[in-house]
Amino acid sequence: MDSYSLAELLRKPRCAHRVNPDRIAVTFGSRHLTYDELDARSDRLASGLRAHGFVKGDRVGVLMYNRLEWVETFFALAKLGGVVVPINYLLKPHEVSYIADDAGLGWLIYEKQLADLIGETRKINTAARRYVGIETADAPADVLDYEVLIDSGEHIPDALPLAEVSADDLLLLQYTSGTTGHPKGAMHTHSTVLWNAFHQIVDYRVTADEVYLIVPALCWAAGFHYIALATLWRGGRVVLNPSTGFDPADFLATVQRERITSTFLVPTVLKRVLAEPSFDTHDLSSLRLVCSGGEPVPVTAIQEMRNRLPSCDLVQSYGMSEFPCVMAYLEPAYSVTKLGSTGRSSSAAEVRVVDESSHDVPPGEPGEIICRSPASMIGYYRRPEASAATLVDGWLHTGDLG
């Protein structure tokens, strides 16, 4: 399995296990990409990048709002053996510059609406790198056009891979929020990302019938890595919500129109959805699962959701950018009786609560949450001391109290 990589999630030959009837992989607004189209376009993008000098191991900053091109880029880089570096569009130019320097970006792919942020960042950070723009016809002359790259690339079904990619190759630098200093790049391989997705198939019972609505921004860990990749692995369909200007009424309309089966809503957003005046005018019967995390869901919101969506389960979870994204989760049956609990560990994680000597504390006593999982990061990029302090004897020390 050493050669099994993220690219395998897209390859759905006719003899593969069942895929959703329309074979649609991703939907955004009125646009759809089938599995074959996503595979072909990401192949062509990868081929175009390679023709312009891309080599395995190159680190690529991705600065976009939620859109189909983000998904294409993610898989193109996986096929090339590249390293994806998601960049939050809410960052300031000096913050983007810091990540670009810290990650050693050789490439940066961005969309037109964020061109001003790129322009300001380039004034601060003059390091040599290649730029790719989406819908940026008036961009500087050194910016490659995204669609031109795709048009120039090749897709040859069943051809040799574009690069020799190993499961243990670095795939992702997921930068932490940096609330206690500079952000750090959590290093994830193809293997850790695949493990993170695979256990969600088991724990959340994901099938080819899944229609998962991504509400968080794809630049966040909860974007790609909470049920989305699991859904694509199983042959379901992923629907992208715009990553800015969340509107509860639009969200409810999307659930009804696309027959959404599952989604992720942080507690504040869940409360906004439940408070939407038009809530009861929408057909939400397709929803089977709403996941939440980041903070406990208020018991009033849990009870209201149970009353208004009796056939839909609410699952509260705990995880982090260092992975697993779902380190522990509280099953729906205990959402009220175990209020405030993060539940039990996921199927791909072992979770303990320990004292300063790494001994388990008795029930009811506080201690640090630590986790051992094949989905956990392999360390922080260029931070050996921080890595050694966080990963101790195979256990990820979260710094959180439980």
The CATH number of the domain holding residue 42 is 3.40.50.980
pLDDT in tens, 125-180: 888 899 999 999 888 999 999 999 999 988 877 666 778 999 999 999 999 986 66
Report the pLDDT value the prediction gives residue 178, as an integer from 0 to 100.
64
In a domain, 26, yes or no: no
Total residue count of the chain as it appears in this document: 402
Report the pLDDT value the prediction gives residue 235, as an integer from 0 to 100.
95
In a domain, 382, yes or no: yes
Rounded Cα–Cα distance for residues 382 and 186 (Å)? 10
Tokens of 170: 């670095």
CATH code, domain with 379: 2.30.38.10
In a domain, 135, yes or no: yes
Domain with 391 in it? 349-402
Which residue among 123, 146, 174 closes a domain?
174
Report the pLDDT value the prediction gives residue 1, as an integer from 0 to 100.
55
Report the pLDDT value the prediction gives residue 295, as an integer from 0 to 100.
85
Report the pLDDT value the prediction gives residue 336, as an integer from 0 to 100.
80
In a domain, 379, yes or no: yes
**For residue 368, what are the contacts with CB-CB under 8 A and spacing of at least 6?**
353, 354, 355, 397, 398, 399, 400, 401, 402
Q: Rounded to whole angstroms, what are the CA distances from 102 to 61, 97, 125, 178, 321?
A: 11, 9, 11, 13, 17
Report the pLDDT value the prediction gives residue 162, as an integer from 0 to 100.
76
In a domain, 96, yes or no: yes
Where the chain has pLDDT below 50, the residues are none
Report the pLDDT value the prediction gives residue 335, as an integer from 0 to 100.
82
In a domain, 320, yes or no: no
In a domain, 183, yes or no: no
Q: Where are the beta strands (DSSP E) in 29-99?
A: 31-34, 59-63, 83-86
Report the pLDDT value the prediction gives residue 332, as an integer from 0 to 100.
86
In a domain, 23, yes or no: no
Report the b/e string of 132-154 with b at 16+ CB within 10 A.
Answer: bbbebeebeeebbbbeebbebbe
* Phi, psi dihedrals of residue 22, rounded to the nearest 5°: -85, -5
Look at the chain and report how many structural domains it folds into.
2
Report the pLDDT value the prediction gives residue 160, as an integer from 0 to 100.
63
pTM to 2 decimal places: 0.95
Report the pLDDT value the prediction gives residue 395, as an integer from 0 to 100.
97
Q: Which helix (H) or strand (E) holds 107?
A: strand 107-111
